[in-house]
Chain A
Amino acid sequence: MSAGNATLEPLLTWLTLILAQLERTFYKVPGSAVIARYVRSSHQNDPGRTVLELILIVFAVRTLMQSRSRDKSEGKLIKFSEKEIDELIDEWTPEPLSAPLTEWEQRDLASVPVIAGPNGPKPKILSTGKTVINLASYNFAGLAGNEHIKERAIETLRKYGLGSCGPPGFYGTVDVHLELERDIADFLGTESAILYSQGFVTISSVIPAFCKRGDIIVADRAVNFAIQKGIQISRSTVRWYDHNDLKSLEDVLISVEKDRRKRGTPITRRFIITEGIFERDGEIVDLPKLIELKHKYKYRLILDESISFGSVGRTGRGLTELYNVPASQVDMLVGSVANGLCSAGGFCAGSTIVTEHQRINGTSFVFSASMPPLLAVAGSEGISFLRNTPSALTSLQENVRAVRAVLEKTEGIAVVGHRASPIVHFHLKIPCIANGSANGIATNPTTVMPPPTGPSFDYEAEEKILQDIVDDALANGVFITRAKRLRGQEMVETRPTVRIVVTAALTKKEIEKAAGVVKGSVAKVLGKRKA
């Protein structure tokens, strides 16, 4: 024993020395005395607590050391040997990357007319070489081919070059972009505006910049595809109301509030998202009533004016001008420079807080190059044209009335939408009936699907008939188009329509003549079908 003790002796002395040394260094650290005192006194009072705290420390260290990636799924993985994995890999045959287009899709793609030379009210079609009347392209105020805009674009090209070569954050903000933002804000009467480089991605970027998980979105059932994508990205809770039915909207708003009270959750951000003029059918939302509801139920309004900006109102300021509502009442007013001003890009107008927030959080603003300066200048020039030429919008309205007058008298088709809308949609009056029909069920705001009304329709058969009408009209010198949709990707499948975009660049006579041609084509195609 003693021999053992003797050998251990130096080791023990060494240990004591080390411990003493450690203690000294520990006390040298400022504040260590406090900790020591605390540990000592707590141990004295309650030795069990020391043990508990030790366990806690061990647990905390363990949690910190653990890798934080994909631990959840680890447990569920099936264990395979390397050989088995190789076999599974050999067995696996993926589907082809893209399925070939169906016969109908191929025809659809091939039937898209290509314009030779400039687009405008009377472009030349490449395949036939014939000049046609254009009721398909967005050229509401007749800005396409404007010589002054061309001149200014060339001037800009000679000073700024073409591309901006950078995102807005990194030397891609050119003064003309800021000028256009200011012009839009001044034109609409909002505090500020922010410019995106493509119209389509604007709203799908604006929505997720504000709407986050847990927020509430109340949206129209027939919103356009870009809004649908924005809502999908946002991950917010969505409630749907019947298309352009503000009564239904109010019901939903009430039920949302009731729901919140019942759960006792705090107030989250709440948004109403809808369109000014619906891209899908040309309906116009009752803006004053919408604003009233928004104020009453404390919602913020995201209004997509991609179609209405530059096409309605006395000078083309859009829905706010049409209803004489100050644009500052709309929290986020999204519009398209591409459609309304015949240039490119989109914008979101609103308060400075709204726009500045997007300069950091608007994904497609931050991560994309800014638009070519000459297109921004074209947008600014478009605005000054609208300001100085109210007659353009007046003749646009006259032309809308002329088109509708002819089409409403046409047999076999139903013209939908608001009478002031510059886009006119029509679908077949008698649907091509598919198998089965459903009865009315009460509206459910948690699903986007509208309550089924009437018999369902055969989508493709209707598309084909409408395409025949479009083709026949083109052969007779009028360029119109079906409203193209992404079937299978849209949330709701609606009746296929033909879309006519009215322009101020044509005289009333020309428009009437063109509408007459469409009428003739409808009669011819539908007549043939009956026969």
Chain B
Amino acid sequence: MAILTASRSPCSLSPSPRSQDPFWVKKRYSVTQLPPITVTSHLSTVHEAEVHSRSRTITRTPTPVHSVTPSKTSGDSVLDESDDHNLHAALTSEKTSNTVQSEFGHCANQSYRYISQHNPDKPVAEDEIEEPPYYILFTTYFSYLLLVVIGHLRDLLGKRFAKSSFIDLMIHDGYAPLVSDFQSFYARRLVQRVNDCFYQPISGVAGRTILVYDRYSEDFNRTQTYTGTTTRALNISSYNYLGFAQAHGSYADAVEESIKRYGVSACGTRLEGGTCDLHRIAEALVARFIGTEDALICSMGFATNSTFIPALVGKGCLVISDEHNHASARIGVRQSGACVRMFKHNDMGSLEELLREVISQGQPKTHRSWKKILVIVEGLYSMEGTMVNLPKIIELKKKYKFYLFVDEAHSIGALGPHGRGVADYFNVPPSSVDVLMGTFTKSFGAAGGYIAGPKLLINSLRMHGHSGPHAEAMAPPVLMQIVATTTSIMGVSSVDDLATSKSTSHQPTFKPSTNGVAMSEVEDEYLHPGMVPASALPTWFSIPSSLADGSEARERIRRLAFNARYLRAGLKKLGFITYGHPSSPIVPLLTFNPGKMLMFAQMMRTRKPTPLAVVVIAYPVTPLVTSRVRFCVSASHTKEDIDVVLRACDEIGDILDLKHGKGKRWPIEEIVKRSVELVHSI
């Protein structure tokens, strides 16, 4: 990893007056001043629009500004709707008027919406893995081989002739090296070459656009030099699926109010004096949102897996894990002491085969039967964009009696017609999954994670999970972001529909928990627990009317679904190889060659007029050959933003020879024109 230095060589080309200061040097109260924007891209016009809209919303009230004027400013024209939907624009501007264009793009055209939902008439599609031509595979392996050989040569010669720079890798002064040269070989000799693409510091909101600090390296990425300037780029990489990363608007207003009322910290662990009423309210809301009896909240997404899985399984238990499961789940399983077996990624046949083997064989050596078997899968896989085949797993679960743990870190909020994750997407009752885990970092623009399930289970986890007595409780502002966003997705019912609940007695009843928040309420519909009664919310939370009916969030969910499908379909039609499910907002574009991956990121970042911030990933996160670019689509993107991405990919893909996909190709103009048709065709 690069060492951040502020030094700047005298021979550098463009010494700017600010360049002597690295950006983190104390500028305590400068947070409100934006650093200078360098690129005269059309995105800077977005910045102007932002200033406009800030001046408009300078007197923020909890209710939205009911401005009659359409939100279009002269500067927006490039990114905003350019077609004739003035009527729509006027209508929707009411809802989006207190958002900022650089954080959340306006998109009034109702045809740019899609409902993400599984078609029950069709079988669940198997993941297709498209293979590249052999020469691509060959050159990729060859480039790794070359890098490894050169790396070892440099180590060999370096250790002999430049001992001083290798001192940390050799035994010195009676100490073994802190990091052995073998362990760090990959980081030193391969990752360092592409370090330019990672750990780029940003400023401001990671919304529709992002302010990236400009930097360059004079010593082959060992250190990075910051120029002090920033570039505003289109952000197609943050986990901001529903676009809730916003510094302005109703959600931020609610968070501000919570800071005023609660401060910033919970000051303690959940079991030892860090629980406040907001925790209880948020947990009850999350349980309602997921559609389970109870839920618990943990202050960190990673820790949700790593500290609660050990409370589920232990010695004598078996965990069957998808091979692409996230590191946090693996750490959790390792800490639990349970046995682990893996099955091929998202391959239900492999899972069934494994289940038959392990149940019939029992524990290794003793052949005693397993205490219990827990299958851990993810709703949406973060690197592949693939979606779990939930109906099939539930079918297997009935036969093989295992427990099912679904990690919905990426899918919650992002999938399903109501944004309630994979269960919602497949229209499966959430109770058919034993443990539903998810995070708030991604779709909700907050932090931390949750585990939802039956009350018995959740209470047991509260007592036996590591987080309860040892980890800090979630901070109140984060809780409020969760409360505000989940509420807006569900909508608020003005009347307490206690009367209607009586008639539907077969539904699970939400017992009033001892938190003083009346939750004795039954949803009208089992699968989609309906609206939140106002009594379940903090009394001081005055939710604006546009959020209360759930329409604002519904727009977000549908925009996300459209954008996700459009980008994927567009890339396919351009001839790229992509992985994953059509509805997945994670769209990996395969570059195979690690060198091309680096070039792709750099060309995207320096692209004129619109720079794009993209995430690239390679081995060891992915298999060796399948280096990739990972796009994360957001509801904050407009259709035009996706056009921009597609155009950029089209050009760069030609230059880098990345188009190896099969199937009929369309020219870019046709894709842009027939986008709606495309989205509905896949």
Contact = CB atoms under 8 A, between A and B. Distances in A.
Interface stretch (A16-24, A158-166, A446-454): A158-166
Interface stretch (B303-311, B494-502, B523-531): B303-311
Contact of B457 (A85, A97, A344): A97
Interface size class of A (residues with CB under 8 A): 35 or more
A357 interface: yes
Contacts of B536: none
B114 interface: no
A52 interface: no
Contacts of B335: 229, 232-233
Interface in A161-182: 161-166, 168-179, 182
B472 to A, nearest CB: 4
A199 B264 CA distance: 16
Contact of B302 (A154, A298, A367, A489): A367
Interface string B355-395: 01101110010010111111000000000000000000000
Interface stretch (A40-48, A369-377, A427-435): A369-377
Interface string A292-307: 0000001010000000
Given A95-B372, A165-B238, A481 B359 contact: no
Given A144-B265, A360-B191, A166 B206 contact: yes
Nearest to B251: A162
A119 B471 contact: no
Contact of B307 (A159, A179, A200): A200
A210 interface: yes
Given A80-B360, A101-B463, A174 B201 contact: yes
A451 to B, nearest CB: 26
Interface in A109-136: 109-110, 112-120, 126-127, 134, 136
Contacts of A354: 178
Contacts of A372: 446-447, 475, 477-478
A494 B52 CA distance: 62
B268 A78 contact: no
Contact of A93 (B198, B401, B472): B401
B259 interface: yes
Given A97-B372, A483-B272, A344 B475 contact: yes
B204 interface: yes
A235 to B, nearest CB: 9
A99 B460 contact: yes
B129 interface: no
A368 interface: yes
Given A95-B372, A178-B201, A372-B447, A200 B472 contact: yes
Given A200-B303, A200-B467, A371-B447, A163 B179 contact: no
Given A173-B199, A233-B331, A158 B252 contact: yes
A226 interface: yes
Given A78-B367, A162-B445, A178-B24, A499 B328 contact: no
B303 A364 contact: yes
A164 B371 CA distance: 40
A353 B168 contact: yes
A363 interface: yes
Contacts of B210: 171
Contacts of B168: 353
A400 interface: no
Nearest to A351: B178
Interface in A343-394: 343-344, 352-354, 356-357, 359-360, 363-364, 366-369, 371-372, 374-375, 377-378, 384
A363 B103 CA distance: 30
B460 A114 contact: no
Interface stretch (A30-38, A262-270, A411-419): A262-270
Contacts of B360: 78, 80, 84-85, 88-89
B516 to A, nearest CB: 6
B515 interface: yes
A350 to B, nearest CB: 10
Contacts of B434: 97
A165 B464 CA distance: 29
Contacts of A338: 265, 472
Interface in B461-486: 461-464, 466-472, 475-478, 481
Nearest to B276: A115
Interface in B1-18: 1, 3-4
Contacts of A378: 264-265
B263 A163 contact: no
A166 B401 contact: no
Contacts of B256: 154, 157-158
Contact of A126 (B277, B310, B357): B277
A149 interface: yes
A105 interface: yes
Contact of A163 (B31, B204, B440): B440
Interface in B186-230: 187, 191, 198-207, 210, 212-213
Contacts of A153: 259, 264, 477
A150 B263 contact: yes
B88 interface: no
B32 A162 contact: no
B69 interface: no
B232 interface: no
Interface stretch (B137-145, B169-177, B412-420): B169-177
A94 B260 contact: no
A77 to B, nearest CB: 6
A321 B182 CA distance: 37
B459 A101 contact: yes
Given A171-B202, A197-B447, A78 B361 contact: yes
A139 B615 CA distance: 39
Contact of A198 (B32, B299, B369): B299
B469 A486 contact: yes
A339 interface: yes
Interface string B258-287: 011111111111111111110110000000
B516 A126 contact: yes
Contacts of A210: 178-179
Contacts of B275: 112-115
B302 A201 contact: yes
Nearest to B409: A369
Contacts of A97: 312, 372, 374, 403, 434-435, 457
Nearest to A115: B276
Interface string A199-241: 1110010000010100100000000111001001100000000
Among A162, A170, A200, find the residue whose CB has the most chain B CB atoms closer than 10 A.
A162
A211 to B, nearest CB: 11
A138 interface: yes
Interface in B112-147: none
Given A93-B401, A369-B301, A486-B464, A144 B267 contact: yes
B358 to A, nearest CB: 10
A527 to B, nearest CB: 26
B178 A120 contact: no
B268 to A, nearest CB: 4
Contacts of A9: none
Contact of A225 (B361, B466, B475): B466
B235 interface: yes
A106 B400 CA distance: 32
A369 B268 contact: no
A421 interface: no
Contact of A166 (B239, B311, B466): B239
A484 interface: yes
A73 interface: yes
B522 interface: no
Nearest to A139: B267
Q: Which 5 A-B pairs have the closest CB atoms?
A: A136-B273, A484-B469, A200-B471, A368-B302, A198-B300
20 contacts: A92-B359, A97-B403, A97-B457, A101-B463, A112-B271, A113-B273, A117-B277, A119-B267, A137-B273, A163-B440, A165-B441, A174-B202, A175-B24, A175-B202, A199-B472, A300-B175, A342-B267, A364-B306, A367-B326, A372-B447
